[in-house]
Chain A
């Protein structure tokens, strides 16, 4: 039986904060709402209770998400979400700890915490919404702003190189890494679900539109136009395998990029140590 509109909205109401007034701080057409929808449905599918989820964020447009959701929400300081989340998870390993972050928050000011959370393989799911810019402060260049792209701090084109968050996470030791876009909604819901189910550090990078700044400055059009571009410029991991690096230039490789089901998880390892040392 097909899901009715009523059932769909019931799922949303179960996880949205009734006392928090909407609309959100996000611009009309922002990709963040699509990611929030996918995350809610993934949590619902997995049957997590509101009480067992801790949602941690830093500063930025994306980081406002936990405030709208009826979980244990921790809206922290710029770049530090993963460090706070590490404390939550380490102290209370039975909690499902999710970090929602952006490219500036996670990879610039929070870059150190990002690689170390990956290295520890602590059981945290990190959803990194990559819109290639600092939206909240008005469109400055970020660690994922492509070469030559315009931003308010690269008014003559970006001369810096950019990070690939998925490569970085994989190299640093994350054990589940996937990329989606806000255009490819069904896949996004699927990879967020898989990331939540994965034991260990999981990264989901979501390519999203900031048509207000990045899109406008780089003449990429409005929100629907940018979603169309994500559709046209995405290549599945399966297809990408047989392609040259030069062919993948400027494309988004989407799907599961890396998974390691063998490597042990940090809190589990510490618990084993505690069991041995306890009472000594």
Chain B
């Protein structure tokens, strides 16, 4: 087998490669540290591929433009960081309500407000779940290596297309700017999923019809289906409704098309938890430190395991229950004042101890800090 092309890339650059691999052809965005390299990469690469890049006037316009491009049948991306992600919140809900596939990369920095623009943070974890108003469900995923920035971005597109919903890729400043040499995938190495198109003639078409898997086929503008897209609560044809039965049907469909398929969406890396006394739970950049701390501890004879979350939302509570069955202590490590630790608390057996390692000073959590915590709890 011929050697694959290798490339030294930043996490942000790997996101661009992954998006292009997945078939992204339209990017709209607004510059913001530490995500700007995603926009710059798309501005440079997309025209060469016949794609389109546009720098919008703000982040609200950016997410609006990619939703507009998505209804014409394109795979679309925008990249941002905390303040921009906040601005996008309303239209994130619009994409959810209208079942429009979009991918948003949030390269997290320290917050709140302008916060620490050039420093690392993971404090948008709950925002990725609860950012927009109203009841809804969300998909968010978090890679931990540059290579995974590429593959998880492909997965984000597949999930967006498969479930007709917005998907957030949570990077952080370190993940976005870290450089690693990665192998570039060739065609066929990874599955690429395209949204399902309707097969019925336009006169029989119902844009938001109930289906077995709760996802309705999605035509592109100009293909003859001329359906109505609205952020108002709508019936199966896309027309607004105030009816209680239709409202329940719509909101349940939106929620359950994700909830009922958590098994398909959820992805984690569970290591050495069977005999572990202590289990680390982490995601994103912190997982690198957690894995290393686990290895060092194991070499020293300590029984330590690790759960790394690649899918943050929807959250697989059952998996956490199973994987923490045998330990006496769980250490949740995250670069915020405590977000995912509350999800763990919901399901952790009361006989087990929940410990946390948190940093929100703009610096990463190191393996040493995790080892120090281990010494405390072992």
CA distance A280 to B58 in the complex (A): 30
B interface bracket (residues with beta carbon within 8 Å of A): 35 or more
Report whether B90 and A86 are in contact in the complex, using a CB–CB cutoff of 8 Å.
no
Which residues from A are CB-within-8-Å of B65?
A: 83-84, 86-87, 90
**Would B239 and A20 count as touching, CB distance under 8 A?**
yes
Q: From residue 24 to 71 of chain A, which have CB atoms closer than 8 A to chain B?
A: 50-52, 54, 56, 66-67, 70-71
Q: Is the CB of B224 within 8 A of A51?
A: yes
Cβ-defined contact, B71 with A113, below 8 A = no
A19: nearest chain-B partner, CB-CB = B237
A75 sits at the interface (CB 8 A): yes
Q: Give the chain B neighbours of A52 by CB distance below 8 A.
A: 222
Minimal Cβ-Cβ distance residue in B for A63: B230
Q: A75-B232, A76-B94 are in contact. Are A83 and B56 (CB under 8 A)?
A: yes
Pairwise interchain contact A90-B52, C-beta atoms closer than 8 A: yes
CA distance A149 to B25 in the complex (A): 48
A156 within 8 A of B: no
- Pick the residue among A80, A89, A94 that contacts B91 (CB under 8 A): A80
A112 contacts B58, C-beta separation under 8 Å: yes
The chain B residue sitting closest to A89, CB to CB, is B68
The listed residue (B76, B222, B226) touching A73 by CB distance below 8 A is: B226
Q: Does the CB pair B226–A71 fall under 8 Å?
A: yes
Partner of B74, one of A19, A91, A116: A91
Collect the chain B residues with CB atoms within 8 Å of residue A67's CB.
Answer: 228, 230, 239-240
Contacts of A278 in B (CB 8 A): 47-50
Closest CB in chain A relative to B181 CB, distance in Å: 24
Find the A residue at minimum CB distance from B220: A92
Cβ 8 A contact of A86, one of B56, B232, B237? B56
Whether a CB of chain A sits under 8 angstroms from the CB of B354 is: no
Neighbour of B221 across the interface among A54, A76, A274, A279, CB < 8 A: A54
Chain B contacts of A74 at CB under 8 A?
68, 71, 229
Asked whether A90 lies within 8 Å of B26 as measured between CB atoms, the reply is yes
Asked if B170 is at the interface of the complex by the 8 Å CB criterion, the answer is no
- Contact partners of B26 in chain A: CB under 8 A: 87, 90-91
Residues of B within 8 A of A116 (CB): 56-57, 61
Question: CB of B231 within 8 A of chain A?
Answer: yes
A87 near B68: Cβ-Cβ < 8 Å? yes
Q: Does B60 reach chain A (CB closer than 8 Å)?
A: yes
Interface residue from B48, B221, B240 paired with A95 (Cβ < 8 Å)? B221
Q: Which residues of B are found within 8 Å of A66, using beta-carbon distances?
A: 228
Q: Is the CB of A159 closer than 8 A to any CB of chain B?
A: no
Chain B CB within 8 A of A129 CB: no
Q: Does A196 contact B (CB under 8 A)?
A: no
Contact with A along B127-160 (1 / 0, CB 8 A): 0000000000000000000000000000000000
A270 at the interface (CB under 8 A from B): yes
Q: How far is the CB of B45 from chain A (nearest CB, A)?
A: 9
Q: Nearest 5 A-B pairs (CB), nearest first?
A: A87-B68, A87-B65, A83-B64, A91-B69, A83-B61
A sample of 6 more A-B contacts (CB under 8 A), given A77-B91, A90-B65, is: A75-B232, A76-B231, A84-B64, A88-B71, A91-B26, A91-B52
